[in-house]
Amino acid sequence: MTFGDTQSVRPEGAGDMAVRDFPYDRVFTFGSLQFCGHSMEYFIDRTRELCVYIVQPRVGEHTNLLRRYRDGILIEERSVRSSQNLFLYYFLWYANHVRELLRFCPRNRKTLVFGGHPVVFFGMGFLKSLRPLAFAYWIGDYFPSKHRVIRLYERVKKAYQRRVDYAFYLTDAINRVMNDGMVADEPRRRTVMWGVRPFPPAPVPPLDPFSLLFVGLIRSGQGLETLFDFLALHPEYRLSLIGVGHPAYVAGLQARLRQAGLCDRVFFPNRFYSESELLGVARTCHVGIAMYDTDADNFTHYADPGKVKAYAEMHLPVLMTRISDIAPFVERFHSGKVIENEIQIGAALEEIRRHYSYFKEGLEAFNSHFAYEQYYGRAFSSLEECWK
């Protein structure tokens, strides 16, 4: 399907969907074409009338997408204007949001507006005077910066989350910041992390060689140099390094690999992979690497890193730095190893390799806990009261 097309998509067996019981009647929500915890899929499967406004990054496409679903079936897709200009980008985002929201929402039926950016809540009181609306805010980030603009942005977020009907927080760390040091835990205000939807499992490749996978932007502070040093001393290990980085930094890493004689054991194509390509590589690997800079101003302290959940979906135990609220869950389910610093990389990898079946079992328990359909169904259960 191309931008600007309006098509009706009816999958096989869709005739049975009309008799389904949908817990949500009408929802206007936002989505992304990038990894976002499968929230779009969740609402598509559970909403009678759904409008999804997909906002593209400012540096990418000059159009956003609007999708309409009825009874879980896509009935319309069309493009709406966007811009790379900073001010025009947000103006068009908001103007299209208001126009499409009023078009979608009838005057006699309650509609839930579910968003993750303060733009969604501008003029919330006025819009409520025009339509029977309820607003839910899922806050997915916090930036501990002293920059005046960032601090203002965070104050705006905090003000809106106090005014909305429902407020959800991606981590307890964000929850705590937004609620003055306390962690809100009640039906309408609680922490909801990313859900997962694992790919179909595949046979585990032989453990010799033991293969590692790193996916993401290639930059300093991710323990790659320490990982290279470990590989140089352990010929039974391999590494697939999938991503791109600043040319000078990438050139330095490639020179280091040549000097250490690791070019035949480190696959480094220096480009992004499609999902199907990445899954193909992942099925030859055993562990996902998720190392982070632990400086206090790194916003990952407040995040639920998508990389960790992506590795879990690809059935890979993770080696990660202790930086996020997801780390206790990795330890609780023994779905990987959490380390304090780069020095512990080697010992952690050796432990995972020696007890690989133990960590694989823990990974399946982790995926079961965060399976998005059941996990969101419990976490967002209070939203159902909108139509009761």
Q: What tens digit of pLDDT does each residue of 326-367 get?
A: 999 999 999 999 999 999 999 999 999 999 999 999 999 999
| d(C-alpha 268, C-alpha 214), whole Å | 10
Q: Which residues contact 161 (CB under 8 A, 6 or more apart)?
A: 137, 139, 167, 178
pLDDT in the model for residue 19: 55
**CA-based R_g, the chain, Å:** 22
**Largest Cα–Cα separation, the chain:** 70
What residues in the chain have per-residue pLDDT under 50? Answer: 1-18
Q: How many CB atoms lie under 10 A from the CB of residue 361?
A: 15
Terminal alpha carbon distance of the chain: 37
Q: What is the pTM for the complete model shown? A: 0.90
Q: What three-state secondary structure class fits 84?
A: coil
Domain boundaries, the chain: 14-195+372-387, 210-370
Q: 385 with 209: CB under 8 angstroms?
A: no
Omega of the bond leading into 206 within 30 degrees of 0 (cis): no
H-only helix segments in the chain: 39-46, 86-104, 124-130, 148-163, 172-178, 224-233, 247-260, 275-282, 306-313, 327-332, 345-354, 356-370, 372-379
| d(C-alpha 246, C-alpha 224), whole Å | 14
What is 210-370's CATH superfamily? Answer: Glycogen Phosphorylase B; (3.40.50.2000)
Does the fold of domain 210-370 match that of domain 14-195+372-387?
yes
Q: Residue 65's beta-bridge partner residues?
A: 54, 79
Structure tokens belonging to residue 313: 């979906």
Positive or negative torsion for Cα 330, 333, 336, 340: positive
| d(C-alpha 203, C-alpha 234), whole Å | 24
CATH classification code of 14-195+372-387: 3.40.50.2000
